[in-house]
């Protein structure tokens, strides 16, 4: 009786999967994050305001990976993954998957572009994302990933080679490279001059949005010494908001030791938090831990766990992470699914891997439904079936509802 019921179930699942798999391919191109009239929207069509933390994965692999649990405890809804072109696609996937398990959006960025003013080298960073193995990872987790092409391109204010126009033109080519590789999610473009220049964004941000065939861009501004004037923070963010430009403050510091620090930074961080909250702009603090000795004042956790004064301010202060961060709705809206197995039942939250009784292991992060047939008969092997690729929680719910079964 058990075998008969199980085989009937398998036939139905195969038929269901073939239909939903083909339907999903039509939808997947439009899923993921989108920018609409200056507002970042998730794949459910809900607005999403980034409240995140930079984490130095490429420099401290194991420590940074383990710190994701601590970062999640702060309430952060996004992690900016410090990465470079030496990083493997397989390790990047592991980090993204862990972020997803912790209900955080992943935003990988290439830190090896810092200060680079050679357009060809900046395009090389776009080519990294477009590489077959890397782009497949980004597309696989499209609903949970935003890509920051290159960290802080362009040198200081005195650099006459990497102009606003060069910045605009090289990023047009980067957009082509990444979109042609099938990357559809939101792309973040850092402003020039170590990310601190707002003028290139004000002048040419809309041109780049119009150029992108998906019109799906955000612009990252970093606030250190160039933003020491509190009034500049207020005035320029007001202006960028008035232009409907999608902005994220992707890094920022604070007034440490009255500006007597290696970056000469006297930034009023409270004003950044207040203005971002007022305008609905995202922010991501620099950084969790691991800064070198001269930058250690920017560590949010002095031992990768316990908060420094800077960390406590960002996490627990007015308009800080705990007060303003909201989990992305791609996690909030995951339904719990009741699956009947004889006299037992189990609840399954669809975005997290988990066991459903002893018979089913459903892992929608990897788009697989696994039937543990050996629990019925040790001579049987486990079978895997692809879940539909788009709108995974709801397809899984339909699947489970349709194929509830009992073993008498």
219 and 306, same domain (yes or no): yes
User: What's the pLDDT score for residue 143?
Assistant: 97
User: What's the pLDDT score for residue 346?
Assistant: 41
Quick one: residue 258, left, alpha or beta (phi over 0 = left, psi -120 to 50 = alpha)? left
Residue 16, burial from CB neighbour count under 10 angstroms (0-12, 13-18, 19+): middle
- The most distant pair of C-alpha atoms in the chain lies apart, rounded to whole Å, by 79
187 and 253, same domain (yes or no): yes
End residue of a domain, out of 327, 360, 377: 327
In angstroms, the CA 324 to CA 319 distance is: 6
Catalytic (active site) residue 251: yes
The DSSP bridge partners found for residue 307 are 301
User: What's the pLDDT score for residue 332?
Assistant: 80
CATH number of the domain encompassing residue 297: 3.20.20.80
Residue 57, burial from CB neighbour count under 10 angstroms (0-12, 13-18, 19+): buried
Average pLDDT for 165-183: 98
Segment of 156-170, 235-249, 330-344, 391-405 carrying the highest mean pLDDT:
235-249
In angstroms, the CA 15 to CA 41 distance is: 34
358 and 226, same domain (yes or no): no
Q: Are 310 and 273 in contact (CB under 8 A)?
A: no
Average pLDDT for 217-221: 98
Catalytic option among 70, 226, 251, 275: 251
Residue 12 belongs to domain spanning: 2-28+333-402
Instruction: Give the pLDDT band (50/70/90) at residue 383.
Output: low
Average pLDDT for 59-88: 98
Instruction: Give the pLDDT band (50/70/90) at residue 104.
Output: very high
End residue of a domain, out of 267, 292, 327: 327
User: What's the pLDDT score for residue 157?
Assistant: 60
The two beta strands, 217-223 and 39-41, are: unpaired
Percentage of the chain exceeding pLDDT 70: 73
Segment of 3-17, 78-92, 351-365 carrying the highest mean pLDDT:
78-92
In angstroms, the CA 106 to CA 119 distance is: 26
291 and 348, same domain (yes or no): no
Per-residue pLDDT at 49 exceeds 70? yes
Higher pLDDT, 177 or 17: 177
Per-residue pLDDT at 393 exceeds 80? no
Is residue 84 a part of any domain in this protein?
yes
In angstroms, the CA 178 to CA 123 distance is: 10
Q: Are 362 and 403 in contact (CB under 8 A)?
A: no
133 and 148, same domain (yes or no): yes
Q: Are 178 and 188 in contact (CB under 8 A)?
A: no
208 and 243, same domain (yes or no): yes
User: What's the pLDDT score for residue 399?
Assistant: 45
**pLDDT tens, position by position, 106-146:** 999 999 999 888 999 999 999 999 999 999 999 999 999 99
Is residue 36 a part of any domain in this protein?
no
User: What's the pLDDT score for residue 156?
Assistant: 59
The two beta strands, 187-190 and 147-148, are: parallel
Instruction: Give the pLDDT band (50/70/90) at residue 223.
Output: very high
Average pLDDT for 367-393: 49
186 and 309, same domain (yes or no): yes
Helix, strand, coil percentages in the chain from 3-state DSSP, rounded to 5: 45, 20, 40
Average pLDDT for 43-62: 98
**pLDDT tens, position by position, 313-369:** 999 999 999 999 999 999 985 444 333 344 444 444 444 343 333 444 444 444 455
The two beta strands, 247-252 and 217-223, are: parallel
Q: Say which residue the tokens 């990444």 belong to.
A: 178
297 and 349, same domain (yes or no): no
272 and 388, same domain (yes or no): no
Is residue 201 a part of any domain in this protein?
yes
Is residue 38 a part of any domain in this protein?
no
Is residue 40 a part of any domain in this protein?
no
Per-residue pLDDT at 404 exceeds 80? no
User: What's the pLDDT score for residue 377?
Assistant: 53
150 and 254, same domain (yes or no): yes
Query: Which residues have C-beta within 8 Å of that of residue 23, sequence separation ≥ 6?
Result: 388, 390
- C-alpha distance across the termini of the chain, in Å: 7
Instruction: Give the pLDDT band (50/70/90) at residue 397.
Output: very low
Catalytic option among 109, 152, 226, 275: 152
CA-based angle 126:128:129, to the nearest 5? Answer: 70
275 and 378, same domain (yes or no): no
Per-residue pLDDT at 280 exceeds 70? yes
User: What's the pLDDT score for residue 113?
Assistant: 94
User: What's the pLDDT score for residue 161?
Assistant: 84
Domain count, the chain: 2
Average pLDDT for 379-397: 45
CA-based angle 95:71:133, to the nearest 5? Answer: 15
Is residue 311 a part of any domain in this protein?
yes
Quick one: residue 182, left, alpha or beta (phi over 0 = left, psi -120 to 50 = alpha)? left
End residue of a domain, out of 327, 343, 368: 327
Question: What are the helix and strand counts (H, E) for the chain?
Answer: 13, 16
219 and 283, same domain (yes or no): yes
The two beta strands, 344-349 and 336-341, are: antiparallel
Per-residue pLDDT at 21 exceeds 80? no
């Amino acid at each position: 009786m058990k075998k008969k019921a199980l085989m009937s179930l398998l036939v139905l699942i195969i038929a269901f999967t073939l239909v939903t798999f083909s339907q999903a391919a039509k939808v997947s191109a439009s899923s993921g994050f989108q920018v609409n009239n200056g507002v970042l929207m998730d794949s459910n069509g809900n607005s999403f305001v980034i409240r995140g933390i930079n984490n130095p994965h490429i420099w401290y692999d194991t420590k940074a990976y383990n710190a994701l649990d601590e970062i999640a405890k702060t309430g952060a809804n996004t992690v900016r993954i410090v990465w470079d072109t030496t990083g493997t696609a397989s390790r990047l996937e592991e980090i993204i998957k862990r972020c997803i398990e912790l209900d955080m959006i992943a935003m990988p960025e290439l830190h090896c572009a810092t200060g680079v003013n050679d357009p060809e080298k900046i395009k090389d960073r776009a080519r990294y994302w477009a590489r077959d193995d890397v782009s497949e990872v980004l597309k696989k987790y499209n609903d949970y990933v935003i890509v920051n092409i290159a960290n802080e391109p362009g040198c200081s204010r005195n650099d006459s080679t990497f102009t606003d126009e060069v910045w605009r033109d090289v990023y047009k080519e980067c957009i082509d490279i990444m979109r042609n590789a099938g990357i559809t999610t939101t792309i973040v473009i850092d402003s020039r001059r170590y990310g601190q220049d707002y003028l290139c964004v004000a002048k040419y941000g809309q041109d780049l949005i119009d150029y992108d065939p998906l019109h799906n861009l955000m612009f990252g501004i970093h606030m250190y010494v160039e933003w020491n004037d509190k009034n500049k923070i207020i005035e320029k963010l007001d202006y960028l908001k008035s232009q409907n430009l999608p902005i994220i403050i992707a890094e920022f510091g604070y007034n440490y030791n009255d500006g007597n620090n290696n970056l000469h930074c006297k930034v009023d961080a409270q004003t950044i938090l207040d203005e971002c909250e007022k305008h609905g702009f995202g922010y991501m603090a620099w950084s969790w831990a691991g800064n070198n000795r001269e930058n250690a004042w920017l560590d949010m956790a002095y031992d990768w766990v316990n908060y420094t004064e800077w960390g406590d301010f960002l996490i627990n202060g007015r308009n800080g992470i705990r007060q303003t961060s909201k989990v992305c709705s791609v996690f909030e809206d995951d339904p719990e699914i009741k699956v009947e197995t004889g006299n037992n039942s189990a609840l399954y939250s669809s975005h997290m891997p988990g066991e459903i009784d002893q018979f089913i292991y459903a892992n929608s992060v990897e788009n697989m439904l696994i039937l543990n047939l050996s629990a019925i008969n040790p001579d049987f092997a486990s079978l895997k079936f692809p879940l539909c690729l788009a709108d995974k929680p709801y397809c899984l719910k339909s699947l489970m509802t349709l194929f509830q079964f009992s073993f008498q």
